[in-house]
Homo-oligomer: A and B are copies of this chain.
């Protein structure tokens, strides 16, 4: 420390920004929820949904509040993603604006598409965007979104988040399609994927069969949480 020059601490406002993913399992599309900004800065740009943290409010509560103002959904996974807090990420930091730094604690969410109902009365046009067609976003939100996309892919490999958003009963092909939509066609062939997951021992064949399209009848499986519980702290690969 230099005792001559007093050290100036930065003052902050803190926001949360949510990277909300969903998989449209009918059309095999990976989607991200964006909103249109109505105010300065980056007015009329698309952005990740977010909010500034209020007095007495936890970060996580702010993340859930943002989500609940945009969509109704019961089945979801949410966790903290990463904190972006460098200088110059928000023009409101300028002395002629508010003169405080804006830090973003980002959250990552995966929601069940089939039941996620967008709240259309919002004036900021909450919209699902295909991951391949994300426009230039406000602030550093493209970078936050990229970070969330990496986390999503990594989560699929090492954790069972898919079962938080798939329907309770699903075919192994449904599961494979879900993975393929996020990881791309080449992540694994179907029979390796099937064998690997069945060997882990937490997918239970219900005995019920369904027929989809022209295919043979396929068994409906469910994720058995009690069978998974002892594996929770084991090193595990899902693909």
Using a CB–CB cutoff of 8 Å, the interface residues on chain A facing chain B are: 7-14, 52-59, 80, 82-83, 85-87, 100-101, 103, 105, 157-158, 235-239
In the bound complex, what is the Cα–Cα distance between A11 and B55 (angstroms)? Answer: 8
Q: A158-B235, A235-B157 are in contact. Are A14 and B53 (CB under 8 A)?
A: no
Residues of B within 8 A of A87 (CB): 55-58
Chain B's closest residue to A60 (CB) is B86
**Chain A residues touching B, majority SS:** loop
Please give the distance in Å from A172's CB to the nearest CB on chain B. Answer: 18
Please give the distance in Å from A106's CB to the nearest CB on chain B. Answer: 9
Copies in the complex: 2
In the bound complex, what is the Cα–Cα distance between A158 and B234 (angstroms)? Answer: 11
Please give the distance in Å from A155's CB to the nearest CB on chain B. Answer: 11
Residues of B within 8 A of A53 (CB): 9-10, 12, 85
Residues of B within 8 A of A10 (CB): 13-14, 53-57
Residues of B within 8 A of A235 (CB): 157-158, 237-239
Assess whether A8 is in contact with B158, with CB atoms less than 8 Å apart.
no
Q: Can you offer 22 A-B residue contacts whose CB atoms are under 8 A? A: A7-B54, A8-B55, A9-B53, A11-B100, A12-B12, A12-B13, A12-B14, A12-B53, A14-B14, A14-B101, A14-B103, A53-B85, A57-B87, A58-B85, A59-B83, A80-B82, A80-B83, A83-B83, A83-B105, A157-B235, A158-B158, A236-B237
